[in-house]
C-alpha cells in the first residue's frame, strides 16, 4: 500500500502551494491593451456578463452534487476552500472536517482556488458562449476568509484554468485560453485578484496539462475505496491529505497509514455510464432525462477529443465545452478514452472506476471500442448494457418532442442547447433509439428511466432537491410542441422576404425570452440547409433571419456574429455569385418560364485511363447576371453603447473586418483606420497562436519556397505556382506545376495549387485510411451535386476575399462523385473537372476549376486566398462552424 501511495502522491502539492508548481520568471512586464474603441464618443467598456443558464438548470440545487475541481488550505491548515461546477464554493472553518456551500455570484464552472493569507482568497473559472464559443473568464475574490465573494475586473479575460503565485513578487498568475486582447494565455494580478492584466507569457507559453490516464484514476479509486474520479489533492505540512472529485466528494487521508475516510459524498457514484464517439453523438436528451427527471447520476466517456497524454489547446477547449454542456444537465463528469492504450484495458479501468449499474454505448463507436466496453461491462457484472443510435427502431425510443414534466422542458430543447455549446454546426436528430444487449434482470426497462427494474444504491441518485415545473411552465412547453411545424409552415407560405420578416418577428415575440435564441439559431440552420435551386427564397429569408437575430440579440455574441455574417453574405466575392443565382431563380419562378438550356462544356483536358470526371453541367460562357438582392439596411458595425472587447478583438472579427475594408464595404468606411490597425496588431503578435500563424505566414521567395520561420510545419502556407503547361489531370503529381513544391502525406490532407489564365488547379494528397465509408451512390439525373452524406469525402474550401465567413466548397469522393456549393448552398454551379488516383501511399485528387467561377479578375502575383482541405466523415455535417478553426485553414499566396 505504501508503495502505491508513493506513486499516487508524487503529483500532490505541499502546503502553501497551488494546484500547479510555482511559475518562476524574469522581471515583471505588464502588457497594456489600448482600447481604441473606448475613444469613440458614447461608447462604454462595461463588464460583459456571462450568458445565463437554461431555466431547467437549477444551479442552486445542483451545487450540492457538483463535481469539485480544486481544493486549497490556508497556511495554518485551519481554513479550506473547494470549488467546482455551477460556481460551487465550499468552505471549511474546522481544518476540513465539515464543509458548507457558500453563496456564489456566478453559475459557471470554477477551476482553481488559492489562499493569499488567512483573510484573502481567489477563485477562477469561466465558460463559453453558445454558438460562437467565445471564451469568458471569471475571477472571484474574498476578503473575509471565503465567506462572501465578489467578481474581479474579469470582463475581458478568457476562461481560466490554473492559478498560482509567482515566487519573485507574490503576484497571482492565472492561465487559460489564449486572449486576443492581451495576446497571451497568462494573466497576473497584484491586488489580490481584484484586477488583472496580460503578463506576456514571461516564461514562455504556459504548458497545458493533459488528462490523467485511466490507470492513475483507477489507482486513486482503489486507494481511497470510492467510486469517483479524484480531481485534486492537497497535502498539509502535518502529512494530512485532502482530495476532491466528482459528485461533490471530499476525502481525508493520511500519508503514513495510507487510510482514507469520506467526509462528504463517499458513497456517491454513477448509476449510468455513457460511452460516446464524439461530442455531437452524446445522447444529450437521454442524459438530461435521466438526470433532471429521474435524478440519476450520469458519467460520460468520450473517444474524442484526444486529450490523454496530449498537450493541445484545441483538445482542451473541446473537452471543457463538453464538460460545460454536461454540467448544465447535472451530469457528474466527462472523461476521455486514451487511444494510445489498449482498448480492453481502458474499458476495464473506466468501468471499475465508476461502477455503474447501466452502460449505454454509442452505435457510431469503432467496433473494437464498442465490443470492448460491452464485453467488459457484462463480465464485470453490470446489470444492463444497451446500445443507442439516432435511427428509428430499437427496444425504446426518445423523441425530441417528448416532454420532461419535472424539468419543464422538451428533450429537443436540451439537445439543441447542448449542441450549441459543443458543436453548433450539427443539427439535432429527431429520435434516440435504444436496444438492450444484456439485462441481468431478464426484463426490458419499462419505466421512465433506463434503470427501471434494477436495484440502485442510494448514492447513485442525485441528492439535490429540485423544484418541479409549475402548471404555467408546462402549458408553455406544451404549446411549443407544434413549434417546428409552425416554423416550416411560415417558411413555405411566406411569399416575400418582407412577409417572412414580419412573421418571424411575430413568432419570436410569442416565444419565451429564454427560448428565443435557440429558435432563432435553429431557424438559421434550417434555412441554410435548403437547396436554393429548389427553394430560391431560402437565401433572402436567411438574410432576414440574420438581420432579426442581429437586432434582437445585439447584447450577445450570437447577435454580433449574425451581423458579421449578414455583412459577409451581402458583400463577399463568393456570395455575389450565389445571390445572383437566387435572383435568377426567383425571376424564373415569378415569370413561370423555364430557364434556358445551356450546352455542356467539352473537357479541355486529356482523358487518361483513370478517367476525368467532368463536373461542369453548363458551358463556361458568361452571361449578364441580375443585380444582387439586398435584404435589410446596411448595418453600422460600430454602434454607440456598450462594447464587448472580447468580441471586438476576436481574430475572426478582425479578419472579417479587414476583408470588408479591402472590399470597400460602405458601412466600414468610417472606421477603416481602426479595423486596419487592430488587424495589424494581430498580424504582428509575438504570442504563439493559430490565428496569427494563419494571417502572417511568411512570403515566398523567388524560388517559390516558403521560409516559415517560427511557424510549425502544420501552419506552412500554400504557394500557388504559375502553370506554364496545363496538367493532364490524371490524378498523378508528375506534371511540371506539381514538381515545384514539396508534398507529404501528413495526418491532414496536403494541398498544392497551380494556375494559369483560365483555370485554378488543385492537387490534394490524402491517406487512404481516412476514407472508410464509401457506399455506392446512385447516379443522379445530373452529373453533379450528388448526395454525399453517407460517404467519407474530401472537401476543398476556397475563400477568395479572406473573410473566413464565406467560401466556395468542392467535395469529391474516391469514386469520383461530386458536390459543389457556397457555404453549403448548391446554387453555385461552377465549371470544374476532377481525376482521382490511388497509390499504395494513399489517394490523390487532381482538380481544375474555371478561374472565372472563382474570381472575376485575372490572378496575379502576390494575391492571397484562404484555402482548406479536410476529410468530412460519413454522417458528419459539412457545414462550417460559426467560428472557424484556424488550424484547418492555410494561407495561399500566388507567386
Mean pLDDT for the stretch of residues 14-36: 35
Least confident window among 15-24, 299-308, 697-706, 835-844: 15-24
In whole angstroms, what is the distance from residue 424 CA to residue 165 CA?
A: 37
Q: Give the position of cell 488550424.
A: 887
Least confident window among 132-136, 359-363, 434-438, 625-629: 625-629
Best-predicted range by mean pLDDT among 217-231, 465-479, 681-695?
A: 217-231
Least confident window among 452-461, 784-793, 807-816: 784-793
Say whether the peptide bond before residue 395 is cis (omega within 30 degrees of 0). Answer: no
Q: How confident is the model at residue 745 (pLDDT cuts 50, 70, 90)?
A: very low
pLDDT value for 47: 46
| Domain 698-894: top CATH class | mainly beta
pLDDT value for 694: 93
pLDDT value for 588: 64
Residues contacting 211, CB < 8 A, separation 6+: 307, 308, 309, 319, 335, 336
pLDDT value for 772: 81
DSSP state of 271: S
In whole angstroms, what is the distance from residue 622 CA to residue 855 CA?
A: 12
Mean pLDDT of the chain: 84
Least confident window among 159-173, 307-321, 582-596, 811-825: 582-596
DSSP state of 590: H
In whole angstroms, what is the distance from residue 194 CA to residue 841 CA?
A: 57
Q: What is the DSSP string of 747-776?
A: SS-EEEEEE-SSEEEEEEEE-GGG------
Mean pLDDT for the stretch of residues 792-818: 95
877: its cell numbers:
455535417
Query: What are the C-alpha distances in Å from 410 to residues 354, 394, 414, 426?
Result: 29, 21, 7, 19
- Interval 135-147: pLDDT, tens: 999 999 999 999 9
pLDDT value for 741: 56
pLDDT exceeds cutoff 70 at 35 = no
Mean pLDDT for the stretch of residues 705-724: 63
User: Any idea which fold 272-460 has?
Assistant: Rossmann fold (3.40.50)
pLDDT exceeds cutoff 60 at 592 = no
pLDDT value for 711: 38
In whole angstroms, what is the distance from residue 77 CA to residue 655 CA?
A: 50
Tell me the backbone φ, ψ of residue 481, rounded to 5 degrees: -60, -30
SS3 (DSSP) at 323:
helix
Q: How confident is the model at residue 479 (pLDDT cuts 50, 70, 90)?
A: confident
Residues contacting 273, CB < 8 A, separation 6+: 298, 299, 300, 301, 350, 351, 354, 356, 358, 359, 360
In whole angstroms, what is the distance from residue 560 CA to residue 493 CA?
A: 29
Comparison of pLDDT for 16 and 779, the residue scoring more: 779
Comparison of pLDDT for 97 and 1, the residue scoring more: 97
pLDDT exceeds cutoff 60 at 48 = no
Query: Strand pairing of 172-179 and 197-198?
Result: unpaired
In whole angstroms, what is the distance from residue 547 CA to residue 541 CA?
A: 10
Q: How confident is the model at residue 619 (pLDDT cuts 50, 70, 90)?
A: very low
pLDDT value for 79: 98
pLDDT value for 590: 64
pLDDT exceeds cutoff 60 at 124 = yes
In whole angstroms, what is the distance from residue 284 CA to residue 54 CA?
A: 14
Q: How confident is the model at residue 641 (pLDDT cuts 50, 70, 90)?
A: low
pLDDT value for 640: 44
pLDDT value for 776: 57
Percent of the chain with pLDDT over 70: 82
770: its cell numbers:
481516412
Comparison of pLDDT for 777 and 75, the residue scoring more: 75
In whole angstroms, what is the distance from residue 151 CA to residue 344 CA?
A: 46
- Interval 314-370: pLDDT, tens: 889 999 999 999 999 999 999 999 988 999 999 999 999 999 999 999 999 999 999
Q: Residue 803: left if φ>0, alpha if ψ -120 to 50, beta else—which one?
A: alpha
In whole angstroms, what is the distance from residue 386 CA to residue 440 CA?
A: 12
Mean pLDDT for the stretch of residues 444-454: 86
Where are the chain's structural domains? 2-46+65-264, 272-460, 698-894
Residue burial 455-482, b: 16+ Cβ < 10 Å; e: rest: ebeebbbbebebeebeeebbeebeebee
Least confident window among 8-17, 680-689, 823-832: 8-17
Residue 764, strand partner residues? 751, 845
HEC profile of 373-434: HHHHHHHCCCCEEEEEECCCCCCEEEECCCEECCCCEEHHHHHHHHHHHHCCCCCCCCEEEE
Mean pLDDT for the stretch of residues 664-673: 55
Q: Give the position of cell 448509476.
A: 271
Shortest CA distance to 182 belongs to which of 193, 196, 192?
196
Comparison of pLDDT for 466 and 743, the residue scoring more: 466
In whole angstroms, what is the distance from residue 51 CA to residue 38 CA?
A: 23
Mean pLDDT for the stretch of residues 393-421: 93
In whole angstroms, what is the distance from residue 524 CA to residue 209 CA?
A: 37
Rg of the chain, C-alpha, whole Å: 28
Amino acid at each position: 500500500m505504501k508503495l502505491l501511495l508513493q506513486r499516487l502522491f508524487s503529483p500532490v502539492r505541499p502546503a502553501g502551494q497551488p494546484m500547479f508548481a510555482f511559475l518562476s520568471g524574469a522581471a515583471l512586464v505588464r502588457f497594456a491593451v489600448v482600447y481604441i474603441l473606448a475613444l469613440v464618443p458614447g461608447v462604454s467598456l462595461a463588464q460583459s456578463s456571462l450568458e445565463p443558464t437554461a431555466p431547467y438548470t437549477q444551479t442552486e440545487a445542483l451545487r450540492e452534487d457538483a463535481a469539485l475541481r480544486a481544493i486549497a488550505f490556508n497556511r495554518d491548515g485551519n481554513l479550506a476552500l473547494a470549488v467546482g461546477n455551477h460556481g460551487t464554493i465550499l468552505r471549511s472553518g474546522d481544518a476540513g472536517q465539515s464543509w458548507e456551500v457558500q453563496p456564489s455570484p456566478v453559475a459557471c464552472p470554477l477551476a482553481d482556488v488559492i489562499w493569499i493569507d488567512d483573510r484573502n482568497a481567489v477563485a477562477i473559472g469561466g465558460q463559453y458562449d453558445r454558438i460562437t464559443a467565445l471564451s469568458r473568464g471569471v475571477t472571484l475574490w474574498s476578503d473575509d476568509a471565503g465567506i462572501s465573494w465578489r467578481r474581479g475586473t474579469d470582463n475581458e479575460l478568457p476562461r481560466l484554468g490554473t492559478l498560482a503565485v509567482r515566487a519573485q513578487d507574490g503576484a497571482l498568475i492565472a492561465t487559460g485560453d489564449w486572449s486576443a486582447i492581451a495576446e497571451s494565455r497568462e494573466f497576473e494580478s497584484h491586488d489580490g485578484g481584484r484586477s488583472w492584466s496580460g503578463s506576456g507569457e514571461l516564461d514562455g507559453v504556459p504548458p497545458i496539462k493533459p488528462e490523467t490516464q485511466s490507470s492513475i484514476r483507477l489507482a486513486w479509486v482503489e486507494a481511497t475505496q470510492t467510486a469517483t474520479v479524484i480531481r485534486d489533492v492537497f497535502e498539509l505540512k502535518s502529512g494530512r491529505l485532502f482530495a476532491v472529485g466528482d459528485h461533490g466528494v471530499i476525502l481525508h487521508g493520511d500519508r503514513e497509514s495510507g487510510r482514507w475516510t469520506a467526509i462528504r459524498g463517499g458513497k456517491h457514484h454513477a448509476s449510468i455510464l455513457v460511452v460516446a464517439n464524439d461530442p455531437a453523438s452524446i445522447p444529450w436528451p437521454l442524459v438530461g432525462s435521466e438526470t433532471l427527471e429521474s435524478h440519476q447520476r450520469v458519467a460520460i466517456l468520450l473517444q474524442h477529443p484526444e486529450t490523454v497524454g496530449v498537450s493541445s489547446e484545441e483538445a482542451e477547449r473541446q473537452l471543457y465545452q463538453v464538460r460545460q454542456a454536461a454540467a448544465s444537465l447535472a451530469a457528474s463528469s466527462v472523461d476521455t478514452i486514451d487511444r494510445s492504450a489498449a482498448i480492453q484495458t481502458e474499458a476495464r479501468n473506466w468501468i471499475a472506476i465508476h461502477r455503474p449499474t447501466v452502460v449505454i454505448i454509442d452505435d457510431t463507436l469503432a467496433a473494437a471500442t464498442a465490443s470492448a466496453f460491452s464485453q467488459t461491462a457484462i463480465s464485470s457484472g453490470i446489470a444492463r448494457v444497451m446500445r443507442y443510435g439516432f435511427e428509428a427502431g430499437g427496444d425504446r425510443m426518445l423523441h425530441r418532442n417528448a416532454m420532461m414534466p419535472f424539468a419543464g422542458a422538451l428533450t429537443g430543447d436540451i439537445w439543441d442547447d447542448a449542441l450549441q455549446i459543443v458543436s453548433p454546426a450539427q443539427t439535432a436528430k429527431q429520435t434516440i433509439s435504444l436496444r438492450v444487449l444484456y439485462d441481468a434482470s431478464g426484463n426490458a426497462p419499462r419505466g421512465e428511466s433506463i434503470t427501471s427494474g434494477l436495484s440502485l444504491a442510494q448514492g447513485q441518485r442525485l441528492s439535490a432537491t429540485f423544484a418541479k415545473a409549475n402548471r404555467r411552465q408546462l402549458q408553455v412547453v406544451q404549446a411549443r410542441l407544434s413549434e417546428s411545424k409552425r416554423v416550416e409552415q411560415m417558411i413555405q407560405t411566406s411569399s416575400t422576404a418582407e412577409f417572412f420578416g414580419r412573421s418571424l418577428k411575430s413568432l419570436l415575440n410569442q416565444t419565451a425570452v429564454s427560448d428565443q435564441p435557440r429558435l432563432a439559431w435553429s431557424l438559421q440552420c434550417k434555412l441554410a440547409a435548403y437547396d436554393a435551386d429548389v427553394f430560391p427564397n431560402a437565401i433572402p429569408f436567411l438574410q432576414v433571419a440574420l438581420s432579426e437575430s442581429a437586432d434582437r440579440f445585439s447584447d450577445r455574441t450570437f447577435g454580433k456574429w449574425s451581423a458579421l455574417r449578414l455583412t459577409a453574405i451581402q458583400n463577399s466575392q463568393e456570395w455575389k455569385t450565389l445571390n445572383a443565382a437566387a435572383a435568377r431563380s426567383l425571376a424564373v419562378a415569378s415569370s413561370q418560364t423555364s430557364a434556358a438550356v445551356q450546352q455542356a462544356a467539352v473537357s479541355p483536358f486529356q482523358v487518361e485511363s483513370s478517367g476525368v470526371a467532368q463536373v461542369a453541367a453548363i458551358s463556361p460562357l458568361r452571361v449578364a447576371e441580375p443585380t444582387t438582392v439586398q435584404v435589410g439596411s446596411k448595418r453600422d458595425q460600430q454602434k454607440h453603447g456598450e462594447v464587448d472587447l472580447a468580441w471586438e478583438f476576436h481574430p475572426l472579427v478582425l479578419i472579417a473586418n479587414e476583408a470588408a475594408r479591402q472590399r470597400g464595404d460602405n458601412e466600414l468606411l468610417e472606421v477603416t483606420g481602426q479595423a486596419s490597425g487592430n488587424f495589424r496588431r494581430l498580424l504582428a503578435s509575438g504570442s504563439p497562436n493559430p490565428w496569427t500563424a494563419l494571417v502572417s505566414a511568411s512570403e515566398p521567395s523567388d524560388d517559390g519556397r516558403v521560409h516559415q520561420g517560427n511557424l510549425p510545419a502544420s501552419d506552412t502556407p500554400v504557394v500557388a505556382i504559375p502553370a506554364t503547361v496545363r496538367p493532364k489531370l490524371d490524378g498523378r503529381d508528375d506534371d511540371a506545376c506539381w514538381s515545384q513544391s514539396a508534398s507529404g502525406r501528413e495526418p491532414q490532407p496536403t494541398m498544392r495549387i497551380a494556375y494559369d489564365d483560365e483555370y485554378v488547379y488543385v492537387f490534394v494528397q490524402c491517406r487512404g485510411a481516412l476514407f472508410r465509408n464509401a457506399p455506392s451512390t446512385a447516379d443522379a439525373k445530373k452529373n453533379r451535386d450528388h448526395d454525399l452524406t453517407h460517404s467519407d469525402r474530401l472537401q476543398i474550401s476556397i475563400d477568395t476575399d479572406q473573410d473566413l465567413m464565406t467560401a466556395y466548397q468542392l467535395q469529391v469522393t474516391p469514386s469520383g462523385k461530386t458536390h459543389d456549393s457556397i457555404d453549403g448552398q448548391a446554387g453555385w454551379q461552377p465549371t470544374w473537372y476532377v481525376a482521382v488516383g490511388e497509390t499504395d501511399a494513399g489517394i490523390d485528387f487532381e482538380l481544375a476549376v474555371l478561374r472565372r467561377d472563382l474570381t472575376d479578375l485575372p490572378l496575379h502575383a502576390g494575391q492571397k486566398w484562404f484555402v482548406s482541405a479536410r476529410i468530412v466523415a460519413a454522417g458528419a455535417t459539412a457545414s462550417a462552424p460559426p467560428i472557424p478553426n484556424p488550424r484547418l485553414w492555410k494561407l495561399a499566396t500566388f507567386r
